């Protein structure tokens, strides 16, 4: 009976104890607030750190898992701090007995018997060092082991271990003291990071290198004693110096990181950026800015056309310099002529224009606006191909008039761009052909990548933890192919002594743009795999006289392509519905010509009539006649003619245009046949 009564009491005691423990566990669950209050981290496509941010209380606390650190560090840590970590339940009874015996024998506290789990509990909830708090830590340690795996408990310690100053955790310390991830630690470096938490203020290597070295050497000695290190590794490690200063944590893609961190503070944000490309192109921009007398800002966006992801985001120059923290990748600026390919793509998609269509480059007034070309001249009747390659303004405005400004604007928005219009502009201005609708380099990259992808447009993708935007077919494959074929065969601007290396290695379709007042210089281009957009200017809009896109931005674009991974540089095969013709005359009538629409009050050419055939003797002249108000001015193939008496200088098609003082115009094409 006594035995039975004893067993019943024991069972009851165990039951009450377990019940109380479960109740306390439910009432007081592990407090992970400090562990979860970590630095925001923005990482690249492979998980490498681009930039981190301090916590709200100013600490560098980067999440560190056991898999993130070198195995030698873990072995040294366990040997020095808790050799039976893998086997105990949070409290090590053998260590408790040993510590008690040492304390009684010496009459003072010699060893605290703290396990790594108990230290993790203390780091989660810091308390003064008292006996009662020690008991609480032990209980919390058991609770942690109940709830989490050994590797998870180790992760708590690795993330919160004090490393001197505002550094917490092995990863933050490894980056700050050695400039590397903790998975790459040497034995000497690992030993130092094991030693610092024992006395983080006294063993800070940037403040007390001698004390730090002594602590490190003690860890190395324990590692040798416990056969964690062999003699050769120990000898090499013991002679290594300790770092004497802290390094800055990585600052790659700082503008992008700042933007994303504001969206998801306290988390790890995975991006599509490729750190190696980001670093290489940042070096290129630093080189280019070093050669600019005015130290203009350079923004660059690089996209992978195959994934739609942004692989490089360079938003300016010196991040800590004047206006350096303005994210110029997302800043809306006037694109100048850089949107012209999109206008022609829509016209090609409508089958109202073709690269070989004839378009009039003559002075034309659109209501109260008289646009002109950059060089103030006019080329007369030219093909659309030449008009786009030469970035002629009048043909682009005529193309936009045919497409419709409202439709063009809605297409840009459907593609993921958000153009900013001038105050009072409702979105029907033909000025969009010349840059009145401001876009960002990021939006421009998305638009050009859409052309590279056969007219399938989507906003650029940069966060891998968010769904990839679904592409929308806004123009067909043939229209996109026409644009790429034109731009890839554009003649190089004057000043290029030889073919850039990038153009020898891959086929690049490119276009430049310059805003009014030389405030913004652009170059945008794409190959089969990559799209690159470059913007050069000042963040505050200060003009840069003479710095046009083909001078300031295009060379940087070619150099950027030269740093991108190689690819097949063959021209893509044309889609089946591409129309191949020898000249504009073989096109359907609706696609043959693009000229000014009829304008009320415009002059009318009376002679010669449209499409006339004039057979002339060698010295014959033609008296041109037109009706209209005011003084009339004649142009032949875009060149001014004095008076109205014309002496053709050869045979063939000639384009005649007449313009009045108000800029209203009309034109005809005639064929001249000179008899021998």
pLDDT digits (tens, 9 = 90+) for 86-125: 999 888 777 656 655 555 555 554 455 689 999 999 999 9
223 with 301, same domain: the answer is no
Selected catalytic residue, list 81, 137, 145, 288: 81
The predicted-structure confidence for 507-541, as pLDDT tens digits, reads as follows: 999 999 999 999 999 999 999 999 999 999 999 99
118 with 13, same domain: the answer is no
Query: What confidence score (pLDDT) does residue 530 get?
Result: 97
Confidence of residue 591 (pLDDT cuts 50, 70, 90): confident
Kindly state the average pLDDT of the residues 459-468.
96
305 with 437, same domain: the answer is yes
Measured CA to CA, the distance from residue 109 to residue 107 in angstroms comes to 7
Query: What confidence score (pLDDT) does residue 110 get?
Result: 44
Structurally, the chain folds into a number of domains equal to 4
Q: Is residue 246 part of a domain?
A: no
Selected catalytic residue, list 334, 337, 440, 666: 337
Query: What confidence score (pLDDT) does residue 552 get?
Result: 95
Please give the torsion angle defined by the CA atoms of residues 589, 594, 598 and 599, in that order, rounded to the nearest 10 degrees.
170
Strand 632-636 and strand 652-660: the pairing is antiparallel
Q: Is residue 254 part of a domain?
A: no
Which residue range forms the structural domain that includes residue 43? 31-238
526 with 503, same domain: the answer is yes
Domain edge (last residue) among 568, 594, 620: 594
The predicted-structure confidence for 130-187, as pLDDT tens digits, reads as follows: 878 888 888 888 989 999 999 999 999 999 999 999 999 999 999 999 999 999 999 9
Domain edge (last residue) among 573, 594, 615: 594
Q: Is residue 264 part of a domain?
A: no
Cβ distance 216 to 192 under 8 Å?
Answer: yes
569 with 604, same domain: the answer is no
392 with 468, same domain: the answer is yes
Measured CA to CA, the distance from residue 661 to residue 641 in angstroms comes to 15
The predicted-structure confidence for 249-298, as pLDDT tens digits, reads as follows: 999 999 999 999 999 999 999 999 999 999 999 999 999 999 999 989 99
Query: What confidence score (pLDDT) does residue 37 get?
Result: 94
- pLDDT over 90 for what percent of the chain? 63
Specify the higher pLDDT residue, 457 or 136. 457
559 with 631, same domain: the answer is no
Is residue 81 part of the annotated active site? The answer reads: yes
Cβ distance 199 to 191 under 8 Å?
Answer: no
Among the ranges given (27-36, 97-106, 259-268, 317-326), the one the predictor scored with the smallest mean pLDDT: 97-106
Query: What confidence score (pLDDT) does residue 124 get?
Result: 94
Measured CA to CA, the distance from residue 38 to residue 179 in angstroms comes to 20
590 with 602, same domain: the answer is no
320: left (phi over 0), alpha (psi -120 to 50) or beta: alpha
Residue in 655, 667, 646 with CA at minimum distance from that of residue 602: 667
3-state secondary structure of 496: coil
Residue with tokens 């629409």: 597
Query: What confidence score (pLDDT) does residue 412 get?
Result: 95
The predicted-structure confidence for 184-240, as pLDDT tens digits, reads as follows: 999 999 999 999 999 999 999 999 999 999 999 999 999 999 999 999 999 999 999
The predicted-structure confidence for 638-663, as pLDDT tens digits, reads as follows: 778 888 999 988 888 787 888 877 76
Q: Is residue 261 part of a domain?
A: no
Residue with tokens 């190089």: 492
Q: Is residue 63 part of a domain?
A: yes
497 with 585, same domain: the answer is yes
In sequence order, the β-bridge partners of residue 668 are: 656
Query: What confidence score (pLDDT) does residue 109 get?
Result: 47
Helix pair angle (150-160, 131-147), 10° resolution: 130
- What average pLDDT does the chain have? 89
pTM: 0.82
Specify the higher pLDDT residue, 590 or 383. 383
CATH number of the domain where residue 316 is located: 3.40.710.10
Q: Is residue 249 part of a domain?
A: no
285 with 190, same domain: the answer is no
Is residue 145 part of the annotated active site? The answer reads: no
Query: What confidence score (pLDDT) does residue 8 get?
Result: 62
CATH number of the domain where residue 44 is located: 1.10.3810.10
Residue 129 has pLDDT above 80, yes or no: no
CATH number of the domain where residue 647 is located: 2.60.40.10
Peptide bond into 608 cis (omega under 30): yes
Judged on CB neighbours under 10 Å (0-12, 13-18, 19+), 460 is buried
Q: Is residue 263 part of a domain?
A: no
Confidence of residue 13 (pLDDT cuts 50, 70, 90): low
The residues, any chain, with a CB within 8 Å of residue 467's CB and separated by 6 or more, are none
558 with 609, same domain: the answer is no
Domain edge (last residue) among 594, 616, 644: 594
551 with 603, same domain: the answer is no
Q: Is residue 469 part of a domain?
A: yes
């Amino acid at each position: 009976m006594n035995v039975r009564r004893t067993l019943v009491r024991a069972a009851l005691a165990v039951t009450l104890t377990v019940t109380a423990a479960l109740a306390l566990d439910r009432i007081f669950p592990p407090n992970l607030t400090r562990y979860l209050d970590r630095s925001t981290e923005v990482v690249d496509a492979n998980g490498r750190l681009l930039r981190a941010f301090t916590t709200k209380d100013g600490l560098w606390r980067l999440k560190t898992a056991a898999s993130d650190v070198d195995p030698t560090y873990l072995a040294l840590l366990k040997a020095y701090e808790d050799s039976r970590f893998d086997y105990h339940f949070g409290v090590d009874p053998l260590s408790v007995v040993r510590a008690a015996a040492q304390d009684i024998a010496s009459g003072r506290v010699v060893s605290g018997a703290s396990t790594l789990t108990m230290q993790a509990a203390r780091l989660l909830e810091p308390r003064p060092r008292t006996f009662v708090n020690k008991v609480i830590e032990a209980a919390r340690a058991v609770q942690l082991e109940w709830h989490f795996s050994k590797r998870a408990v180790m992760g708590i310690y690795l993330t919160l271990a004090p490393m001197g100053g505002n550094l917490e955790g092995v990863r933050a310390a490894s980056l700050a003291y050695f400039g590397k991830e903790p998975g790459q630690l040497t034995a000497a470096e690992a030993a130092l990071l094991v030693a610092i938490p024992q006395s983080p203020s006294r063993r800070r290597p940037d403040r007390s290198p001698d004390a730090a070295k002594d602590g490190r050497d003690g860890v190395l000695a324990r590692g040798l004693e416990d056969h964690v290190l062999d003699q050769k590794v120990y000898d090499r490690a013991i002679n290594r110096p300790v770092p004497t200063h802290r390094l800055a944590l990585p600052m790659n893609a700082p503008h992008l990181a700042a933007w994303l961190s504001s969206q998801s503070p306290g988390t790890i944000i995975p991006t599509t950026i490729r750190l190696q490309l980001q670093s290489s192109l940042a070096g290129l921009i630093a080189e280019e800015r070093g050669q600019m007398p005015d130290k203009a800002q350079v923004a660059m966006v690089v996209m992978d056309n195959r994934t739609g992801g942004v692989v490089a985001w360079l938003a300016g120059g010196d991040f800590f310099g004047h206006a350096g923290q303005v994210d110029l990748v997302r800043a809306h600026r006037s694109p100048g002529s850089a949107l012209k390919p999109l206008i022609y793509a829509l016209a090609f998609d409508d089958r109202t224009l073709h690269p070989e269509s004839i378009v009039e480059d003559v002075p034309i007034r659109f209501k109260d606006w008289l646009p002109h070309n950059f060089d103030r001249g006019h080329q007369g009747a030219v093909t659309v191909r030449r008009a786009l390659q030469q970035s002629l303004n009048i043909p682009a405005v005529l193309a936009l008039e045919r497409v419709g400004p409202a439709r063009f604007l809605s297409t840009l928005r459907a593609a993921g761009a958000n153009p900013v219009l001038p105050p009072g502009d409702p979105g029907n201005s033909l000025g969009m052909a010349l840059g009145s609708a401001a876009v960002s380099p990021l939006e421009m990259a998305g638009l050009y990548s859409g052309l590279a992808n056969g007219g399938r447009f989507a906003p650029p993708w940069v966060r891998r933890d968010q769904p990839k935007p679904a592409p929308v077919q806004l123009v067909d494959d043939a229209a996109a192919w026409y644009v790429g074929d034109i731009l890839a065969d554009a003649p190089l601007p004057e000043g290029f002594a030889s073919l850039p290396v990038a153009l020898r290695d891959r086929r690049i379709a490119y276009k430049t743009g310059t805003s009014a007042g030389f405030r913004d210089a652009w170059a945008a281009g794409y190959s089969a795999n990559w799209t690159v957009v470059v913007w050069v200017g000042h963040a505050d809009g200060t003009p840069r006289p003479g710095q046009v896109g083909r001078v300031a931005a295009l060379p940087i674009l070619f150099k950027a392509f030269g740093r991108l991974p190689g690819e097949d540089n063959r021209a893509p095969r044309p889609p089946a519905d591409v129309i191949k013709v020898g000249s504009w005359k073989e096109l359907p009538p609706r696609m043959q010509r693009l000229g000014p629409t009829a304008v009320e009050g415009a002059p009318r050419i009376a002679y010669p009539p449209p499409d006339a055939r004039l057979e002339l003797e060698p010295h014959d002249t033609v008296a041109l006649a037109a009706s209209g108000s005011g003084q009339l001015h004649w142009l032949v193939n875009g060149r001014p003619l004095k008076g109205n008496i014309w002496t053709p200088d050869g045979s063939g098609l000639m384009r005649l245009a007449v313009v009045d003082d108000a800029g209203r115009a009309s034109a005809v094409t005639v064929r001249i046949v000179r008899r021998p």
